[in-house]
Structure 1
Amino acid sequence: MLLCNSTMGSHSLAFILICSGVCFSPFEADKGNVWNDVVMVREGTSVTLSCFDSPLTSSVMVIWNVMSAGKDTWSNLISANCNQRQTDRQNSAVFGGETFEICADASLSFNATASTQGLYSCVIKQGYKKLQERIVLLGLIKLSVTPTPPVTVDSTLRLTAQVSPPSVVAWGMWVSPSGEQLHTEISHATGSLLSKLPRITIKDSGVYTCRICVHGNSGTSVSEHRVNVTVNERTVFNFTDVTHGVPRSLATLSHSMVTLECPPVTGDYVLLYWEHPDSSGMELIFQFDRWRLSFTNQTKSNLYLINSTSLAAGNFSFLLRPAMNDGGLYLCEVFLDDKAFSQSNRLSVLNGNAKSSRTSLDLSCVYSELSQVKEVKWSHVQNPHRSLQTTAVLGRIKTSVALPVTPETAGQYTCTLYLNNGHKVEYMFTVTMADIGTTVSPGSTLPPAVTLLPAEDVSKASHVSTLSFLLFLIPMIAIAVGVLLWRQGYCITRGGVQQSLSHHSGEVENIYENPDDLRQQTPPQGSVYMDLKPTSEMDVYKELDRYNKLCG
């Protein structure tokens, strides 16, 4: 196996051509024959096979033998006496209906046809002694251009090279008139090299070259074969054979990946059109030509072709990470030779946000491509049967949570968008009591806790709300316990520091009015308030010292 790397096109896309079976042919496989060189010529042209690598220094006998394709034995073709590169006569012979000649330098000349393909052996003898033998494999190449030039504008031009025997091809490529390497597909089983020029223009006129690498024992050689292509700019090709796929309806959250499918065919190039949400009029936003290895992305940096490996094979699809305004109709068209295939993807994008005021937290959902939307609604995950008040206009639905948040109103709120085909997408916002303070700036926007959860995760999420509520109660319980501990071991001070204690009754009391409450034997009920009032600056320290002695 020989790996031939080639960097193709202005975008430096690398393709690997796997080249195998290049050093032997059916002749070698059957009889163990090995050739010294390979000569590649176009069918119908004249060819000369050389015999000597250096000038002759004495008189020798030159014998040419042939093993035709499909044969397994050698046949004598022609022979001649040669002396210092001179033959005693111009020898010619007819074999298989073709004429062969030995030239002055003992080389063999003839017209290359399908019947002349095979192995050729040149044997040099001096007397009865064999001095040298040289074996050459003659390979034929046939070039074709379809359709026959001049080619119609916008049609697909196919450049094909057919090599026989197929096993002699190591690698090959087609090159444009400007010298750019075209993506070339090689079939080692059939010996074909194919390249295409989709949507041909007048600029594509010129001479195209097929370069073929073959291997022989004498080394590696590259042969070049050329064809001329002309374009008729007065005629334009029109695609009439168009196949339409089943339309797809999609919905996704904004900034989440979604796949835009193309027709499942192996194509030459792909065009992607976009129709803005709830509008008419399409624009071309992406195109890719896998033969010229060129692509153009006109408008969207968040749009990608999937998988470069499948691109080389002509299988196309797109990934889109849509913003809110990227909904709409996406039409993918794939072209193969003179046929076209289309697939539409109608996309609705859902996005949510939350805004707070002094009295409420407003949760909103906006969505696009209304024509395929069946229903959009808000619901409370922990209490799905709870009725929520909503207001809706085209493309937007809103619900409100009263402030402050209570255990009943806390939890997860879900905005669900249902398509006509039954598909749905959800935007989720979690409201916790800890997130919303008692004082909220009017008109401020809260960061939404947005998640896209499957149904089985909703029950898990409800435990988060319960935990948040317990975390809120823990500080309140700690305060109450601290007050009870203080009441069990309080100390009464005298003199310069006064303590006042009061508890709630049905009336509003001044916490500084009842200093004698400190001496009550029954614990206070309800909330407890305490105030320390020093009578002078120095008395504070004296009373603190006495307090420490009494409590110690």
Structure 2
Amino acid sequence: KVSKQTKFADALLFLSTLDEYDVVVVRENNPTTLGCAGNKLTGDMSINWMVKPGNVGEWKLILSVNEKTTFSGGAWKESIQLVDSHSQSTRDFSLLLSPKEEDGGLYTCLMKHQKRKVKEIVYLLAVFTVSLYPAPPVPQNSILRLIGRVTPDIAVTKITWTAPGGLLMKTERKPNTGTVTKLPLVQKSDGGTYTCTVYPQGNSTGVLAATVNLTVDADKVAPFTNHMIHTGTEAQKAFLLTCPSVQGDCVKLSWLPSNFNRGKYPDYKKMKLVYKYDRWRGSAQRKKAGIRLAGLPYNAKAGSFSFQMSLDLSDGGIYICQVFLNDNIFLQNTTLSVLKVKTSNYSSKLELLCRFSEPHQVYRAVWEHSNESRQLVSSSRGPGSISTTLPLPITSDVVGRYTCILQLKNGQIIRADTVITVPSKGEISFVSDILLLLVPLLHTHTHTHIYRYTHLQDLKPRGDE
């Protein structure tokens, strides 16, 4: 089995042995002429037109002409003929054809006298096709794919796509497909004429352009398929929110704040768009501070999406990452709790306050001291908080590490610490506020709470609420 790299190398090697050849790029089904003129055919002189389809394999005879007759070979098609039916007398042996994509390849006009080569003219015929998916009128919010393809592809140095107004678009060259550009979440304003331009290599006649007209049906919204994605995350201050592990075209991150997430029945109508990135247009919209696209091992420009987040207590809630790829949308739902410890100094006491979002996921919350024999009295101001107090002045028997411990309903234990030390010069000494992220995730099938597990909700993409 010959690899594509081997075929490419063999083709270049063959072309390098030729004194001269012409590159002809033509739109599919457009009539084109491959010129060939010579001496008047007399005696043992003949003209043979041959082709190597796709620039691979063996030469195949299209037709042969001598002084008395013209006969067709195995590669002859009805779409191929001589320009002049009286070529024996006019000495014009040019070939006229309306090529399909599969007709691209090497063509040679070989002149022989007594089976000896007298003259040879070689053409590299490349067939140019353009296509767009889905077919117009395109449903709104579709991922529009524009594809330009040349067969064989060694005939061109590059292919570009230009948007209405002349803006050069981002493209990717994909094996066995062509040069692709995309318009994620296409809108009516994206309608217009898009131009694909090919730049032939070698002795060519110049660039060739083709256009496609895009119309968008604003009354029809593209259907999307929801896929189940399961993932886990680590609890840390600098939080990495992972997205579905597919190479997408566009990503949207939406957030449902804690006050709209009451556990069993979240109000998804209150979702807010906090980040949107379109890798094809190269555009990013950030509507919430502390969120950015994650770097390595992720690569947003290549379609690998995740988010690096720096969160505070008020940032808890449900985060939904939507990755768009062609006609599919992949959803990943992460319910995120944020735990924060704060110390407050009053005239007669020091209060250690532990606050946390998404209290519906918490089974038990307590304060503990590093000296396990010392029992602490904890109190709550309401859902999402628990506090304990230390009498002032601070003495050596109460110093140490104080830990706020949350036990989630699935049994997972989450901790946040603060350290109290003996004050110097009459001051109370303690560490600064500590922020910890919790990632208990709601499993909607069984209505139990599972830590480090995300579940896709059966949601359709919404607008930028």
TM > 0.5: yes
Write out per-residue CA displacement over residues 281-321 of structure 1, whole angstroms, 9 at most, x where no aligned residue: 21111112222222211222x10112376323322211111
Report matched runs for 1:318-357 at 5 Å: 318-357=307-346
1:420–1:224 Cα change, 3 Å: farther
CA contact (8 A) 1:186 1:193 kept: yes
Aligned equivalent of 2:134? 147
Q: How far does residue 335 in structure 1 lie from its aligned partner after superposition?
A: 2.2
- Paired residues in the alignment total 407
CA contact (8 A) 2:163 2:169 kept: yes
Whole-angstrom CA distance in 2 between matches of 1:431 and 1:135: 87
Q: How far does residue 149 in structure 1 lie from its aligned partner after superposition?
A: 1.4
Q: Aligned pair 1:236/2:220, yes or no?
A: yes
Q: How far does residue 366 in structure 1 lie from its aligned partner after superposition?
A: 1.7
CA contact (8 A) 1:404 1:436 kept: no
Matched to 1:206, the amino acid is: G
Whole-angstrom CA distance in 1 between matches of 2:61 and 2:427: 106
Whole-angstrom CA distance in 1 between matches of 2:143 and 2:403: 52
Q: Aligned pair 1:392/2:380, yes or no?
A: yes
Write out per-residue CA displacement over residues 426-458 of structure 1, whole angstroms, 9 at most, x where no aligned residue: 32222221x354467xxxx96627597xxxxxx
Whole-angstrom CA distance in 2 between matches of 1:62 and 1:50: 16
The structure with the greater share of residues assigned to helix is 1
Matched to 2:432, the amino acid is: P
Structure 1: segments with no counterpart, 5+ residues: 1-19, 82-90, 453-552
CA contact (8 A) 2:102 2:151 kept: no
Matched to 1:160, the amino acid is: I
Q: Aligned pair 1:305/2:290, yes or no?
A: no
Q: Aligned pair 1:67/2:51, yes or no?
A: yes
Aligned equivalent of 2:244? 263
Report matched runs for 1:128-277 at 5 Å: 133-188=120-175, 190-216=176-202, 218=203, 222-233=207-218, 235-239=219-223, 241-246=225-230, 252=236, 256-277=237-258
Structure 2: segments with no counterpart, 5+ residues: 261-266, 437-465
Q: How far does residue 123 in structure 1 lie from its aligned partner after superposition?
A: 6.0
Tell me the percent identity: 30
Q: Aligned pair 1:366/2:355, yes or no?
A: yes
CA contact (8 A) 2:320 2:331 kept: yes
Which among 68, 73, 82 is matched to residue 100 of structure 1?
82
Aligned equivalent of 2:398? 409
Matched to 1:403, the amino acid is: L
Write out per-residue CA displacement over residues 368-420 of structure 1, whole angstroms, 9 at most, x where no aligned residue: 12122223222112x12310122212222222222333222111112223333
Q: How far does residue 207 in structure 1 lie from its aligned partner after superposition?
A: 1.8
Q: Tell which has more relative contact order, 1 or 2 (C-alpha 8 A, sep 6+).
A: 2
Report matched runs for 1:79-118 at 5 Å: 95-97=76-78, 98-101=80-83, 108-114=95-101, 116-118=103-105
Q: How far does residue 167 in structure 1 lie from its aligned partner after superposition?
A: 4.0
CA contact (8 A) 2:418 2:431 kept: no
Write out per-residue CA displacement over residues 53-74 of structure 1, whole angstroms, 9 at most, x where no aligned residue: xxx9x99999563223155236
1:238–1:250 Cα change, 3 Å: farther
Whole-angstrom CA distance in 2 between matches of 1:100 and 1:113: 18
Which among 409, 426, 431 is matched to residue 420 of structure 1?
409
TM-score by length of 1: 0.63
Write out per-residue CA displacement over residues 151-175 of structure 1, whole angstroms, 9 at most, x where no aligned residue: 2222232222343224445433322
CA contact (8 A) 1:250 1:423 kept: no
Q: How far does residue 344 in structure 1 lie from its aligned partner after superposition?
A: 0.9
Q: How far does residue 92 in structure 1 lie from its aligned partner after superposition?
A: 12
Whole-angstrom CA distance in 2 between matches of 1:375 and 1:171: 63
Matched to 1:42, the amino acid is: R
SS, match of residue 391 in structure 1: coil
Whole-angstrom CA distance in 1 between matches of 2:254 and 2:223: 17
Matched to 2:380, the amino acid is: A
Report the aligned-residue RMSD: 4.0
Whole-angstrom CA distance in 2 between matches of 1:22 and 1:184: 25
CA contact (8 A) 1:248 1:345 kept: no
Whole-angstrom CA distance in 1 between matches of 2:184 and 2:97: 39
Aligned equivalent of 2:420? 431
1:111–1:240 Cα change, 3 Å: closer
SS, match of residue 432 in structure 2: coil
Which among 280, 284, 309 is matched to residue 295 of structure 1?
284
Q: How far does residue 275 in structure 1 lie from its aligned partner after superposition?
A: 0.8
CA contact (8 A) 2:369 2:403 kept: yes
1:428–1:283 Cα change, 3 Å: same
Whole-angstrom CA distance in 1 between matches of 2:160 and 2:170: 7
Q: How far does residue 116 in structure 1 lie from its aligned partner after superposition?
A: 4.0
Matched to 1:346, the amino acid is: T
Whole-angstrom CA distance in 2 between matches of 1:191 and 1:438: 75
CA contact (8 A) 2:365 2:405 kept: yes
Aligned equivalent of 2:450? none
